[in-house]
Amino acid sequence: SGVCSLANAYAGIGDPGFTANITTAYGITGSAPNTYALLTAGYDPVLRSTSDYTSKRYRFTGSASDPTATKASHMDVMTAAISGVTAECVSVTSTGGHSDASQYADTAAILAFVARCVAD
């Protein structure tokens, strides 16, 4: 259920309320220097340099049924951006809505992932 693309959230993809929240959080007015592009530069995980993710481990969970943080606009975009440079990039497709319990159904896999992170 993670929101990974700040640009997609700002565009209102999924939860349209994200646009107002991001505007307020960053102080966006639409006029330079308070534009979305200028104030959010460097803060969108999807747009960061892939070197920021090198040798790190990531586990993402998303659902096509999640109307808030859509899988296609967040998890899929993020994993496409960083897989290949990470030590591990796991994408798990859950079945329910936003923060649904199905995201945590495979506790053994989650604990094994955490163990690998701690071991590093």
Confidence of residue 82 (pLDDT cuts 50, 70, 90): very high
Give the pTM: 0.88
Torsion of CA 109, 111, 83, 21, to 10 degrees: 110
Q: Which DSSP string do the residues of 55-72 spell out, in sequence order?
A: T-EEEEEE-TT-SSS-TT
Give the residue-averaged pLDDT of 86-98: 94
What was the pLDDT predicted at 120? 78
Q: What is the mean pLDDT of the chain?
A: 95
- Tallying the residues shown for the chain, one arrives at 120
